[in-house]
Amino acid sequence: MEYKALCFGFFCILFAYYVYIPIPENIEEYWKVRIIHAGMEIASLMATLFESMGLMKFEDIFVMIMALQNTMPVSDENITVIDTELSDIPVRLYLPKRNSERQRPAIIFIHGGTFTAGSFKMHCFDSLNRETANKLDVVVVAPDYRLAPQYPFPAALEDCISLVKFFLQEKVLAQYGVDPARICISGDSSGGALTAVVTQLLQDDPEYKNKIKAQILLYPALQAIDTLMPSYQEYEHGPFLSRKVAIMLSCLYLSDDKQLAKAILKNNHVPEESRHLLKFVNWSDFLPEKYKKNYVYTEPVLGKLKASYPALADSRVSPLLANDSQLQRLPSTYIVTCEHDILRDDGLIYVTRLRNAGVPVTHDHIEDGIHGAVSFATSPFYLQIGLRIKEKYIRWLEENL
Ligand SMILES: *[C@@H]1O[C@H](CO)[C@@H](O)[C@H](O)[C@H]1NC(C)=O
Ligand SMILES: *[C@@H]1O[C@H](CO)[C@@H](O)[C@H](O)[C@H]1NC(C)=O
Ligand SMILES: *[C@@H]1O[C@H](CO)[C@@H](O)[C@H](O)[C@H]1NC(C)=O
């Protein structure tokens, strides 16, 4: 009996500890955010525990939770939804049924999930793409690229590039009745990283230059150089996405070597010979004053890692490492950043750098937003803020594509 009481007490304390989080009291739908966060904390605790017991790998639990949200393709009165393959990449297509004389715009949507989990099949992404296709009478193509750690960088990127290039062929666009002058690439979180990189690479390729009319980045991850920017410190423990979980999972895209994850957590992973890249992600130069607060810029410690990871210095991993002459070629861009998000500063810095380079940027900073907000725009965990971002997203497309 006493033993049971002890165990019960232990778990209560554990639970209380994990439910307690520094969520600002004034955040909208405080309790819902708290529950979402507690769920994530418990998942991450289990991931750590099960991994140390040798039962499963750290990422497995997140893969499983996200896969629970997968849906089948369901058509409705306005759109045909099918799962198929384009250029050997699995995709879900949303094709409007209405007869139309005009060619339709198209959106290629690249889902998030830290490069290790997630699918276009997830309820949240399916409903975003469905609503976009339905409300705007546009074609939506959502690819499932290969995931880490089984397929590390550049597999995901290669899949996205190959899908986009395949889709951009004249005969394919004609088959779906798509207007070649009105194509947008969009993505959230790690999908935002892939979106930004795909857009940069296509712009740099004479054959594909100016074929993308716009890009949309929803709370994107844009660099793997400095993991102690102000937002990474301020929102280290979430809500929802903690710095540790974000790094442990997304690091697998670069390597499944635990030494790298440890170094990135300490922010001493960048090699000495990459010093010249620091200027591209120097938050002290690019973050608006309001977000700097009392943080003092300190350079990441260089040259601590013995092994070499060329991907760390690659702008195809960290699109913020592109120089100004590469950035100035980019198309019209819509960026959503959330205040309560470790990735806030990645997005804010890209906004500044793109604007400095003369790229037309629409930027919405969501004061009440948490990372992944659009993933909480469907029941049972919907947040008003998720619904509002979804509305903004659709409105921007309506006005700009
Ligand atoms: C189909 O389109 C009509 C007209 O735009 C709209 O009223 C209806 O809600 C749409 N159906 C679905 C399932 O979204
Ligand atoms: C970062 O920016 C600050 C302020 O402009 C500057 O003092 C510092 O030398 C910069 N550091 C690097 C590595 O670019
Ligand atoms: C920008 O980067 C590209 C690709 O790495 C390079 O070819 C070009 O010379 C760079 N431009 C400047 C001004 O540094």
Cβ–Cβ < 8 Å for 196, 359: no
Listed in order, strand segments (DSSP E) in 58-205 are 79-86, 89-96, 104-110, 139-143, 178-188
Higher pLDDT, 16 or 268: 268
Find the 284 Cα to ligand 2 centroid distance in Å: 7
Q: Please determine, for residue 143, whether its predicted confidence score (pLDDT) is greater than 70.
A: yes
Q: What is the position in ligand 2's atom list of the atom closest to the CA of 299?
A: 13
Q: What is the pLDDT of residues 194-229, one digit of tens each?
A: 999 999 999 999 999 999 999 999 999 999 999 999
Find the 81 Cα to ligand 1 centroid distance in Å: 15
Of the pLDDT bands very low, low, confident and very high (cuts 50, 70, 90), residue 394 is very high
pTM (two decimals)? 0.95
Nearest ligand to residue 136 Cα: 1
Q: Which residue out of 270, 272, 282, 298 has the highest number of ligand 2 atoms within 8 Å of its CB and is therefore the one to mutate?
A: 282
Q: Is 78 in the pocket of ligand 1 (CB under 6 A)?
A: yes
Residue 327 has what pLDDT? 98
Q: What is the position in ligand 1's atom list of the atom closest to the CA of 130?
A: 14
3-class DSSP assignment, residue 32 = helix
3-class DSSP assignment, residue 141 = strand
- Side-chain-facing half-sphere of 327: CA atoms under 13 Å: 22
Find the 78 Cα to ligand 1 centroid distance in Å: 6
3-class DSSP assignment, residue 94 = strand
Find the 190 Cα to ligand 2 centroid distance in Å: 27
Write the CA distances from 2 to 270, 315, 366, integer angstroms: 52, 58, 49
Q: Is 155 in the pocket of ligand 2 (CB under 6 A)?
A: no
Q: What is the pLDDT of residues 40-64, one digit of tens each?
A: 988 999 999 999 999 999 999 999 9
Nearest ligand to residue 74 Cα: 1
User: Sign of the CA dihedral 253, 259, 260, 264?
Assistant: positive
Find the 134 Cα to ligand 1 centroid distance in Å: 7
Query: Structural domain boundaries of the chain?
Result: 78-401
Q: Is 75 in the pocket of ligand 1 (CB under 6 A)?
A: no
User: Closest Cα to atom 14, ligand 1: which residue?
Assistant: 134
Residue 145 carries which DSSP code?
-
Catalytic residues: 189, 341, 371
CB-based burial label for 279 (10 Å; 0-12, 13-18, 19+): exposed
Q: Is 75 in the pocket of ligand 2 (CB under 6 A)?
A: no
**Does 78-401 carry CATH code 3.40.50.1820?**
yes
Residue 1 has what pLDDT? 54
Q: How far apart are CA 353 and CA 222, in angstroms?
A: 12
Q: What is the position in ligand 2's atom list of the atom closest to the CA of 282?
A: 1
DSSP output for 232-252? HHHTTT-SSS-HHHHHHHHGG
Q: What is the position in ligand 3's atom list of the atom closest to the CA of 326?
A: 1
Residue 251 has what pLDDT? 97
Find the 278 Cα to ligand 2 centroid distance in Å: 8
Residue type, 228: L
Q: What is the pLDDT of residues 61-73, one digit of tens each?
A: 999 999 999 999 9
Q: What is the pLDDT of residues 343-358, one digit of tens each?
A: 999 999 999 999 999 9
Nearest ligand to residue 279 Cα: 2
Q: Is 282 in the pocket of ligand 2 (CB under 6 A)?
A: yes
Q: How far apart are CA 282 and CA 278, in angstroms?
A: 6
Q: Which of 157-171, 236-250, 362-376, 377-391 shows the lowest mean pLDDT across its residues?
A: 377-391
Q: How far apart are CA 178 and CA 335, in angstroms?
A: 24
Cβ–Cβ < 8 Å for 321, 223: yes
